[in-house]
Amino acid sequence: MSLILILEQVLNGLQFGVMLFLMAAGLTLVFGVMGLINLAHGALYMVGAFAAAAVAGWTGSFVLALIASLAAAAAAGALVEVTVIRRLYDRDHLDQVLATFALILIFSEGTRWLFGSFPLFLDVPDYLSGPVTLPGGIQYPLYRLAIIVIGLMVGAGLFWLIARTRIGVQIRAGEADREMIAALGVDISKLYTLVFALGAALAGLAGALVGAIQSVQVGMGEPVLILAFVVIVIGGIGSIKGALVGALLVGLTDTLGGVFLPRLFALLMEPAAAASLGASLASMLIYILMAAVLLVRPSGLFGGSA
């Protein structure tokens, strides 16, 4: 296996990780500030992808589609927060799990009712399609590079928002002590709606970005949701930095594991069996990673106390 191929696979892992970060950031923010487990986060990812596909279909513009995904997911997030989620903040995790599981059913079948049972079309815009040649002769799809850049920019923006702005101060205060920010005169219910809508918008953006190179279909959010949970648990729940590190770790492990494990087994057995066994182990790898991290650090890499 050549060095170039290895580098390309590292890039792939990176891109996958950045995409996971967009999902995980909202999830971890909502948990950190409001203490809420939101299983319906994947549904917001799906809302973003469907909104983008619909708008791209009407207007033909990818930029408008991305804006639509942000707007639709944020709106759906805000609506759900005001009607359902805010009643769950003082409940235990069990009620949250059940209520947000119910939301998944409503969102999934509601989307199918609106858009039908068949996958939707959403494509990479012309100006981002095709491969570019990177230094060292690596051929790499431009669109995937764009995802890496957009993801890192969003990440940087998020860090800036939390470290430097008034809202960021309020969010950090909310994580530390909920009574205190109410005492400071912050409208806490507005802050919560805002944070939830922000997390939803990030998920929607991820859905739209990924939807252009994957299948836009009902249920697309669920596998990603589970991965995003793995990410925030590895990183430490509530920590944006943890989400970033966790996302990259999961992205790299999953991609490189899928590539190298079958090759490793091929040294020991015949190719078809090695391919099958290696693939089996690779699909379990990130869960093994998560279990291992939690055994060494029970609150994740950057977590405080659960």
Partner 1 sequence: MKILKSLAVATAVSTLALAAQAETKIGMITTLSGGGAGLGVDVRDGFMLAIEAAGRDDVEVVIEDDQRKPESAVQIADRMIQSEKVDIMTGIIWSNLAMAVVPAATAQDVFYLSPNAGPSALAGKRCHKNYFNVAWQNDNLHEAAGAYANDAGLKNSFILAPNYPAGKDALTGYKRMYGGELAGEIYTKLGQTDYAAEIAQIRASGADSVYFFLPGGMGISFLKQYADSGVDLPVVGPAFSFDQGILQAVGAAALGIKNTSQWNKDIDNAANVAFVADFQAKYGRLPSLYASQGFDTANLILSALDKADVKDQDAFRAALEAADFDSVRGDFKFGNNHHPVQNIYVREVIQEGDVFTNKIIATGLTDHADAYASECNM
Partner 2 sequence: MGREKFFNAGMLLALLAVPLMAWQMDDPFVITLATKVAILALAGVGLNIALGLGGLVSLGHAAFFGIGGYAMGILAAHAQNYEPLFTWPFLFEGSNQMPLIWLVAVLASAAAALVIGALSLRTSGVYFIMITLAFGQMLYYFAISWSAYGGEDGLSIWVRNEMPGLNTLDPIQFFGVTFVILCLALWFAARLAQSAFGLALSAARQSQERVETVGLTPFKLRLMAFVISGAITGLAGALFADLNRFVSPTMLSWHTSGEIMIFVILGGVGRLYGPLVGAAVYILLEHLLGGISEYWQIFLGLLLLGMVLFARGGLIGALLGREVAHD
299 binds partner 2 (CB under 8 A): yes
Nearer to partner 1, 33 or 55 (CB): 55
From the list partner 1, partner 2, none, partner contacted by residue 78 (C-beta under 5 to 8 A by kind): none
Q: Note whether 116 and 216 are within 8 A (CB).
A: no
Site size toward partner 1 (CB under 8 A) is 50
Q: Note whether 100 and 225 are within 8 A (CB).
A: no
Which of 102, 132, 184, 264 binds partner 2 (CB under 8 A)? It is 102
145 binds partner 1 (CB under 8 A): no
Give the HSE-up count for residue 84: Cα atoms under 13 Å, Cβ half-sphere.
18
Site size toward partner 2 (CB under 8 A) is 44
Closest CA to 191 of 205, 44, 199: 199
9 binds partner 2 (CB under 8 A): no
Q: Which of residues 8-47 bind partner 1 (CB under 8 A)?
A: 8-9, 12-13, 15-16
Tokens of 107: 């969102």
The CB density around residue 302, as the number of other CB atoms within 10 Å, is 20
Cα-to-chain-centroid distance, residue 84: 22
170 binds partner 1 (CB under 8 A): no
What's the Cα-to-Cα distance from 84 to each of 38, 77, 103, 111, rounded to whole Å? 12, 10, 9, 19
Site string for partner 2, 71-90 (x = CB under 8 A): -------------x--xx--
98 binds partner 2 (CB under 8 A): yes
Interacting span for partner 2 (CB under 8 A) from 91-99, 162-170, 171-179, 204-212:
91-99
Nearer to partner 2, 95 or 123 (CB): 95
Tokens of 213: 């190179």
75 binds partner 1 (CB under 8 A): no
Give the shortest CB-146-to-partner 1 separation in angstroms: 11
Phi and psi torsions of 165, nearest 5°: -105, 165
From the list partner 2, partner 1, none, partner contacted by residue 265 (C-beta under 5 to 8 A by kind): none
Which of 38, 69, 96, 217 binds partner 1 (CB under 8 A)? It is 217
From the list partner 1, partner 2, none, partner contacted by residue 143 (C-beta under 5 to 8 A by kind): partner 1
104 binds partner 1 (CB under 8 A): no
Cα-to-chain-centroid distance, residue 104: 16
Contact footprint for partner 1 (CB under 8 A): 1-2, 4-5, 8-9, 12-13, 15-16, 108-109, 112, 117-121, 123-124, 129-131, 139, 141, 143-144, 210, 212-220, 223, 255, 258-259, 262, 271-272, 275-276, 279-280, 282-283
Residues that bind partner 2 (CB under 8 A): 31, 37, 84, 87-88, 91, 93-95, 97-99, 101-106, 108-110, 112-113, 226, 229-230, 233, 237, 276, 279-280, 283-284, 287-288, 290-291, 294-295, 298-300, 303, 306
